[in-house]
Amino acid sequence: MFSKPINHFIKNLEVLKEFDKNENNKLIDSFINCIINTKYENSKVFIYGVGRSGFVGRAFAMRLMHLGFNVCFVGDTTCPSIENNDLLIVISGSGETFSIVNMLKKIKELKTNKNYSGLKTISITCKNENSVKKLSDINIPLPLHTDECFPMGTLFENIAFIFLDIIVYLLMKKLNISESEMKKRHCNLQ
């Protein structure tokens, strides 16, 4: 009973192994370099997702904060305005989430103004062809094998969470940041 969904989940984890091959390595390098560049340019990382993808985005935002990045989740009451050289990362399994598509259209519009020409967008999606991918500078596809074991995008959210935790690990290594250094930025008010 339990082994069927576990085996299916493991099969989908295999998708992440593909990132060590071909063009995927270039995508990961571009993704990591875009994040790192925000630190050097004193700019911000904005993250956005809707529903459970939003929870994945919030977890990633927290880890980026622990790494010392200036990061915020779009829609939070303390979210500042986006500026030139900032980075927007969106997470959408379908790649058709209405608010994300509209946000990326607005960003594309902003980028026609030279004051926003350095603004970058990265999307993480599941479906290969979608509106979000077309509107993003970089798209990270997570092509999953779905079935009835995991309903309504569950696999995408789980694999996206693990994928972004791997990105955090790679950022730690590239920036030479230890876990103890990250813990210094962890909330200690409780």
- In the residue annotation, 148 being an active-site residue is answered as no
Number of CB atoms found within 10 A of residue 159's CB: 23
How far, in Å, CA of 89 to CA of 32, rounded?
Answer: 12
How far, in Å, CA of 22 to CA of 51, rounded?
Answer: 32
Number of CB atoms found within 10 A of residue 181's CB: 14
The DSSP secondary structure of 67-91, one letter per residue, reads TT--EEETTSTT-----TT-EEEEE
Task: Find the catalytic residue in 23, 109, 157, 179.
Answer: 157
How far, in Å, CA of 169 to CA of 77, rounded?
Answer: 29
Catalytic positions: 157
